[in-house]
A and B are shown apart, each in its own frame.
Chain A
Amino acid sequence: MNDTHFKRMKDLPSTHLLGTGTPMCAGCGGLQAINDIYDILGEKTVFINAAGCMTLLSVYPFTPFRGSWLYTAMASAPAGAQGVRDALDILLEKKKIGQEENLTAVVLTGDGSAYGMGLSATSAAIDRNLDFIYICYDNEGYGNTGQQYSSATPHGARTSTSSGSMGYPGFKKDLFSIWAAHKPTYVATVIGAEPLDLARKIEKAAQLKGPRFIITLSPCPTGWGFDPQETMQIGKLAVKSGVWPLKEYIDGKIIHTKVPKIRMSVEDYLATQFRFAHLFKPERNTRLIDEIQGRVDEYWDHVS
């Protein structure tokens, strides 16, 4: 990380590129991360979007992007990136456009698309060694439709389709590992609450070629049930409790970029959000809390 431009917080951009006036919820942790990401990727990009919250970033005639945008559908944003990338390459090769007109294809989807409906299109885009960046804002549920559980919903979380006393019975899919198993150029987890770590990873991804992946955990006041102002604290807690490991996959190796020296208990994280309130009220569900803690501990036991 010595070659990074972002050595300390003061190195982060002081002016921001993404426009204001978008209809994202107050305190949207996904938007916060996208802002930071866009500052680094810049306007020579075309964002290719799948159905989700961020689809509403561009509602005719308003767009917050300085660069370009293409909405596709829920399942096929990586295929949209394929078409755009291939077309740009063809135009470059035929000298119909010069390098100065080139753009980076950036797929932007939520977890619903990334972990579920769009996974097949993503997997194939990696097979084809597509030169693109994929950004998944992961708010751990189908947020745009009112937070139903998705393949990214954590065990025990209440959603509008897992409202029983035990919450969601399934387990959050390990998308980082699934993507990494394809051996793409780069995979990283980030979070808006750790902007320096995020900036370094986006900077690195931007300099590489081939399929590059970013999953940003996106604290969601509306879907998770917390006051919008707590977005940053909850994001930091996700990292400090070990629930959201910050890591990257590059050259076949996985590196943890921020290992909490003393991991806080997951309880400190869970207790901040209404979606886990049933773990504490009316009485404490020690078994479920311990189970969640146990899984986090198990994960970190295997981190050297």
Chain B
Amino acid sequence: MPGTQEGHMQGFDRKGMAARLAQDIPEGWYVNLGIGIPTMVGDYVPLDREVIFHSENGILGMGPAPAKDKIDPWLVNAGKQPVTLRPGGSYCHHADSFAMIRGGHIDLCVLGAFEVAQNGDIANWATSENDTAPAVGGAMDLGAGAKRLWVIMEHTTKDGRPKLVEACAYPLTTPRAVKRVYTNLGVFEIVPEKGFVVVDLAPGVTLEQAQAASGAVLHTQ
């Protein structure tokens, strides 16, 4: 398990977070990975574990990034980066692609977030009610439609404010949708009527440290 080598920081680095989440994806799941850290999760699912990656621009069975001389300009992921198609993969149009999402066929969606609340609310598209031109993309479809929504994000903002909170301050993407949160400090399940429950903590992180970095109570089972 990769962890940060920097002495002043504890817990997972971004690759470590992605690898930790990837451990929990079983063979056979159809999975949509959001832009940013979520995209990195795909790098840590071994190819012999058949997890089928979906990209909302109409790709099912997406493979890793191509070598530079093998780039196909017609084949990009939702982040508009070049990708490949695995044997068995297929293409579809946007309405069918979102039918996979909105019709509840996607087993897991992994998104980044600004905030996750203890009731499972996620805010990840607009930074205030006054942000009049935010980009929602497919986030609301994924939040409402996927069978499971897991969030992967830093535990706090760059200036140290908690992102695990009692109630989201930013406009919601989807209410009561998140089941799990993977951060640099650990893994947290959201249990109805209870809130954040610690699944496990990153190497070198204590419960006290994780609690101090959180804006809501972290329960231990």
Partners in one complex: no
Question: Which residues of B come within 8 Å of A, CB atoms?
Answer: none
